[in-house]
Amino acid sequence: MAVGQTAADGILALRANDGRVPNPLPPPFTGETMVGVWRPTTSYQDGPPPSGSPMATPWLGAVPCFALQRGDQFRAEPPPPLTSQRYTADYNEVKALGAHSNSSRTPEQTELAYFYAGNNFILWHRTLRDVAAAHVKNIGDSARLLALANLAIADAVITAWDSKRHYVLWRPITAIQEGDNDENSATAGDPSWQPLLNTPPYPEYISGANSVTGALTGMLALFFGKDEMTFTVTSEYPQAAQKMRTYNRFSDTASDMVDVRIYHGIHFRFGDEAGRDQSRQVAQWVFGHVAGAR
């Protein structure tokens, strides 16, 4: 316990003035009202309270990383142009599957959406501890797994915020309500469209939830040297009828999260996939450079 406390004290001292909470805080960032650019959004559905707020922690992408060299080390490639076929396909997908009313989601898709509608940091840390308890018998190896996973998650969030702040892409709720003004004749607008869940107060690209999920599942696969493992994920979200889901591959949970944020109506598929892919790069870097890399 004394050794652990000493290590913790050293890390806290090392990170004491790392910019996580600047003092003074910078001016609020509210984006712009130009086509394609993020701006505060307000929706009134299930999930977190409606915001209408400026971007949350817009400085986070510039915070020094724990293992990576810098926050833009794995910055995502630019999102597809608003007039591209990819943007059109993903726009129409989230418009149909992510709507609060008159959605084309199946009952199974809606149930999956609610399963992952809560606090994913809590859900994934619980899953991580459960996997470690079930499959890692040595306390030193268990500590190493927890350290690697948390380092990967932390740096994945920093890299996600770097990409969000760099590209400042609008959210589906704004894109769909303004769809008639985006110079794309294949993206019909709907000023009354609302997502299944409230939209978080930060830009779309890339998905932070997929960054966290991809970092954790990627690190688990690297640590165990395989993607195949049977484990259970538990949800505490009130509207989730099914509270436990059993998976046989780490990558299957990452795939589900890509779909889930579309069902929520808060991300385009390209933003979800970019978050997943970027965080896998982060996990690979962390695994190869820290905590007894092998």
294, part of any domain: no
Which segment of 19-23, 85-89, 261-265 scores lowest on mean pLDDT? 19-23
Q: Which residues make beta-bridge pairs with 99? A: 195
The predicted model gives 4-10 an average pLDDT of: 94
In-domain check, residue 147: yes
If you average pLDDT over residues 4-31, what whole number do you get? 93
Quote the number of domains for the chain: 1
47 occurs within a structural domain: yes
* pLDDT above 70: residue 106: yes
In this prediction, residues 111-138 reach a mean pLDDT of 96
| Mean pLDDT taken over the chain | 95
Average pLDDT over residues 7-22: 93
Which is higher by pLDDT, 15 or 292?
15
pLDDT in tens, 36-88: 999 999 877 655 666 789 999 999 999 999 999 999 999 999 999 999 999 99
Residue 152 lies in a domain: yes
State residue 45's pLDDT score: 64
In which residue are the tokens 């809606």 written? 110
Q: For residue 114, is it within any domain?
A: yes
Which of 66, 45, 40 minimizes the C-alpha distance to 283?
Answer: 66
pLDDT exceeds 80 at position 292: no
Give a yes or no: residue 218 inside a domain.
yes
- pTM score of the predicted model: 0.94
Residue 129 lies in a domain: yes
The least confident of 51-55, 89-93, 176-180 is: 51-55
Structural domain span for residue 59 = 2-289
Q: What mean pLDDT comes out for the span 253-279?
A: 98
Answer whether residue 131 shows pLDDT above 60.
Answer: yes
**CATH code assigned at 278:** 1.10.606.20
Please compute the mean of the pLDDT values over residues 180-194 and round it to a whole number. Answer: 97
- The answer to whether residue 39 is domain-embedded is yes
pLDDT digits (tens, 9 = 90+) for 192-203: 999 999 999 999
* pLDDT, position 50: 63
